[in-house]
Structure 1
Amino acid sequence: MRYLTAGESHGPQLTTILEGIPSGLPLTAAEINEELSRRQKGHGRGRRMQIEKDQAIINSGVRHGYTLGSPITLAVENRDFKHWTKIMGAEPLEEDSDEVKRQITRPRPGHADLNGAIKYNHRDMRNVLERSSARETTVRVAAGAVAKQLLKELGIKVGGHVIEIGGVVAEQLSFESIEDLQERTEASPVRCLDELAGKKMMRAIDEAKEKGDSIGGIVEVIVEGMPVGVGSYVHYDRKLDAKLAAAIMSINAFKGAEIGIGFEAAHKPGSLVHDEILWNEENGYTRRTNNAGGLEGGMTTGMPIVVRGVMKPIPTLYKPLQSIDIDSKEPFQASIERSDSCAVPAASVVAEAVVAWELAAAIVEQFGVDNMERIKENIGRHNRQAREF
């Protein structure tokens, strides 16, 4: 399984092509659009979310509600494009037109603007910022929605939540089931299980906005129901924990990833880190604890997958930082673009999507690539063998 995304932030649409999705998977646009709607919510989102009402169109690979096994094309229209038709249009413009003259030559700190302009030799940095924008995560969530549907068919459940925003840390993180986690976080404007901490997070977001600033945070994704032994210890590039870490780090503005207790393991002795192995006739092998976050040696243990990601504060500020104009080489205060003061709750949904994709891809690779029935049979056989091992 793999996917490719295309499109610019203010271009006509965003597109993703998914390859390797098995045939026979139930799939409708409604399931994808539900995930897109979740991405647009959250306390601290900017005006762009009021403009866009993201809806996916399935252009290929699905017939009468089931995947065909052929590539799936998903498209999401950018409604704001009607105001950008000349600036972002594909057709050539006159050299002396206002749109050509309105070049962006002032890179914003914390963005891809300067590095991307140097790499691709763009004197107009709009060519960089339009593609490097987090708007691209719209179709990554769409791809993740398909992956979630695949996992759901196999009894694998995915949930995500926010555990920290702007230094406010959630303390009450217990939940009864993934369904309980999903229900409670959907009711929270910041996707936090701890109601008291959630209110403090919202105040922190409002205070940052009043100051023209932004704040970041930490999100966590939990997945239950993964079979034992998915991934590999044989080669570095087949280790599933490495793929999950890479997926988290690929999300815009994410600067750190950890699995299980992660960096906390550096402060503890091995006796308090490693998960003791248990066995019973009903469940087979389990662990007394889950400090490893469901992954050992690059493979799943059968325990819940626990992955966290750290999102930095959004670098587009209403209190601009100093930069340098690439034409005049003069210092200036970085330009102000429309932005969120905090996108951590939305980033939680993106994190769910990228984790779901990696897990679904690993499942398909290991248990068969052609159709859902074959995958279900292979997983059932594998699970029986693991219990009896």
Structure 2
Amino acid sequence: MRYVTAGESHGPEEIAVIEGIPAGLHISQEDVNEQLARRQRGYGRGERQKIETDTVTFLTGVRHQTTLGSPITLNVHNDDHNNWSKIMAPNEPATAENTLRKVLRPRPGHADLVGGMKYRHREDLRNVLERSSARETTMRVAVGAVAKKLLSEIGVDVHGFVVNVGPAKSDLNELTKYKNLQELRVVTEGFDTRALNAEADEAIKEVIDKTKRDANTVGGQVQVIATGMPVGLGSYVSADTKLDAKIANAIVGINAFKGVQFGGGFDNAEKYGDQVMDEIFWDEERGFYRGSDNLGGFEGGMTTGEAIVVRGVVKPIPTLYRPMQSVDIDTHEDHRASIERSDTTAVTAAAVIAEAMVAIELAKAVLDKFDADNIERMKEQVAVYREEIRKF
């Protein structure tokens, strides 16, 4: 399985093409739209979300709500393009009129300046920010929706939630209350902040409100949990086959993500071995299993069968309504950075995006190991493999 996305933030369309999805997978536009709507929701989002109503169209690869095995093309229309059609016009030369929104004062922390240097966009840094914008993650969530649908066919569930926004934190001890991810999903999706309880929800809202009043932005952390993965996906034989490494790459590849950990992560660096290693047990019904999950479901780059637990660190958004020091790329004079319409925080949406990226990497791993031509054949192979592992 592989995919590519295309589209600019204020261009007419966002597009993704997915290859390698088996034939026979039932998928509807509603399955994808549900995930796109989740991405748009969340406390601290900006005015753009009031303009857009993200809905997907399948252009290729799906017939009668069933995948064909051929490349799947997904399309989401940018409603805001109506306000930017001249500025983003592909078939008209640059004029004084259609370059009114020229960007010459790069934002600290954004791709503006380095992207302009790399691609020689001296005339207008908008050529950088239109693609580096997090609007592109719309299509990664759409691809993730397809991946989640595939994973659900073999009993794998994936869910993301917010750990903290600034100093306001969810109590992770709350996780022990839930028997499965569906119970957790009902709770966290019931809060605008995707927090674990009402107390954390209110505290996070207070932080976001204060941040907005201060014309500032704020970051945080999100966590993704996946259950039901077969044992032994990924490999130890080469660095590039380790599944946890692939997931780490996918998480840090999300706009504004600056760190990733698995299980106990960085806290494990302050502990001793007998406090961290997940002891091994066996019973006739389950086969081998672990008594804890401090390593986040991975050993040697391979899935252990325990829950996969991934956390990502999200930096504050670089666009500040009280802009920071910058330099005009034309005059080289000091100026305040450009201001673009933005969110106060993207952490609430980032939980959905991280969930999608984990699902994509898990789906790739499943399709690398099992038959990728037909969904029913794939399910049969997974069932046989699970039984083999249980009897080991």
Partner of 2:97: 98
CA contact (8 A) 2:103 2:338 kept: no
Partner of 2:117: 118
The 3-state SS of whatever aligns with 2:99 is: helix
CA deviation after TM superposition for structure 1 residue 99, in Å: 1.6
The 3-state SS of whatever aligns with 2:221 is: strand
The 3-state SS of whatever aligns with 2:193 is: coil
Question: How far apart, in 2, do the equivalents of 1:47 and 1:265 lie?
Answer: 40
Give the aligned residue type for 2:340. E
1:273-288 matches, cutoff 5 A = 273-288=276-291
Partner of 1:348: 351
Question: How far apart, in 1, do the equivalents of 2:363 and 2:184 lie?
Answer: 21
Q: How many residues align?
A: 388
> 5+ residue gaps in structure 2?
none
Question: How far apart, in 2, do the equivalents of 1:276 and 1:101 lie?
Answer: 63
> TM-score, normalised to structure 1's length?
0.98
> 5+ residue gaps in structure 1?
none
The 3-state SS of whatever aligns with 2:363 is: helix
Question: How far apart, in 1, do the equivalents of 2:95 and 2:381 lie?
Answer: 63
Question: How far apart, in 1, do the equivalents of 2:47 and 2:83 lie?
Answer: 15
1:1-389 matches, cutoff 5 A = 1-93=1-93, 96-100=95-99, 102-123=101-122, 124-171=124-171, 172-174=173-175, 175-389=178-392
Question: How far apart, in 2, do the equivalents of 1:14 and 1:319 lie?
Answer: 30
CA deviation after TM superposition for structure 1 residue 92, in Å: 2.2
Residue deviations 1:196-218, cap 9 Å, x none?
A: 01110000000000000011100
The 3-state SS of whatever aligns with 2:159 is: strand
Residue deviations 1:292-340, cap 9 Å, x none?
A: 1001100000000000000001110111000011110001111211110
Give the aligned residue type for 1:36. L
CA deviation after TM superposition for structure 1 residue 257, in Å: 0.3
Runs of 4+ in 1 over 6 A off after TM superposition: none
The 3-state SS of whatever aligns with 1:218 is: strand
Residue deviations 1:163-192, cap 9 Å, x none?
A: 111111211432221001111111011001
The 3-state SS of whatever aligns with 1:200 is: helix
Deviates more, 1:7-16 or 1:370-379: 370-379
CA deviation after TM superposition for structure 1 residue 96, in Å: 4.3
Question: How far apart, in 2, do the equivalents of 1:125 and 1:215 lie?
Answer: 24
CA deviation after TM superposition for structure 1 residue 243, in Å: 0.3
CA deviation after TM superposition for structure 1 residue 89, in Å: 1.1
Give the aligned residue type for 2:98. E
CA deviation after TM superposition for structure 1 residue 100, in Å: 3.5
Question: How far apart, in 2, do the equivalents of 1:102 and 1:23 lie?
Answer: 45
Question: How far apart, in 1, do the equivalents of 2:98 and 2:63 lie?
Answer: 42
The 3-state SS of whatever aligns with 1:27 is: coil
Question: How far apart, in 2, do the equivalents of 1:350 and 1:81 lie?
Answer: 23
Residue deviations 1:218-259, cap 9 Å, x none?
A: 000000000000000011111000000001001100000001
CA deviation after TM superposition for structure 1 residue 33, in Å: 0.1
Question: How far apart, in 2, do the equivalents of 1:348 and 1:102 lie?
Answer: 31
Query: What fraction of aligned residue pairs are identical, expressed as a percent?
Result: 54
Residue deviations 1:59-102, cap 9 Å, x none?
A: 00001111000000000000010111110011122x54322365
Question: How far apart, in 1, do the equivalents of 2:184 and 2:219 lie?
Answer: 22
